[in-house]
Amino acid sequence: MCAPGKLECDAQPPRRCGADGRWQTTTCGPLLAADVTGLDTTGLPGFNIGLRCKSLSVCSPGQGCIYYAENLGSVQSSETTYTDGSELPQAAATRVYIATGAQSMCGNPAITLTAAQKLLIAHDGQSHTVYFPAITATELTLYIREDGATFYDAALTNVAQRAP
């Protein structure tokens, strides 16, 4: 028996718990979203390195993913204000992009994340936790799988951080 809705993408074979409480073989794919309604970075302390020094945007593969345009939603470091982006006509795969923020006096500082720091994404009436790898970088693009694991590639083959 299992908890309905539970997902184990890294099990062999991948499995999802059905409404009847039994495991079913499944295929895991990208996290799909049409309308991101909130981003919570409190579980991602390595991102918050100074007021608006860095930006974090969630977007579809077809969007430019800039914090001020072409995204589903974005936040700036050390700021709680969420900036809503566009709403897609149908759900699409998602990625997260961390880059320079709106405060140009910061320059482009590196962020340092420890393994399993996390971002909470609210979208389409649900929420998902997304897990980050241990990394120090000035810019980062990660593709999100439906269980919150992240990958360095859109094909979801080059693992950045597995979901716990």
pLDDT along the chain (164 residues), means of 10: 94 96 96 98 95 97 94 96 97 97 92 96 97 98 98 98 94
Q: Same structural domain for residues 10 and 71? A: no
Phi then psi for residue 44, to 5 deg, are -125, 60
Q: What is the pLDDT of residue 104?
A: 83
Comparing CA positions, the residue from 49, 6, 23 lying closest to residue 148 is 6
Q: What is the pLDDT of residue 57?
A: 98
8: domain range? 1-27
Q: How many domains is the chain partitioned into structurally?
A: 2
Q: Same structural domain for residues 63 and 4? A: no
Q: Same structural domain for residues 79 and 106? A: yes
Q: Same structural domain for residues 1 and 77? A: no
Q: Same structural domain for residues 63 and 97? A: yes
Q: Taking the model in full, what pTM does it have?
A: 0.95
The per-residue b/e assignment along 68-94, b for 16 or more CB within 10 angstroms, e otherwise, is eeebbbbbbbbbeebeebeebeeebbb
Q: Same structural domain for residues 100 and 153? A: yes
Q: Same structural domain for residues 23 and 90? A: no
Q: Same structural domain for residues 77 and 146? A: yes
Q: Same structural domain for residues 121 and 100? A: yes
Q: Same structural domain for residues 56 and 128? A: yes
Q: Same structural domain for residues 58 and 97? A: yes
Q: Name the H helices within the chain.
A: none
Q: Same structural domain for residues 22 and 48? A: no
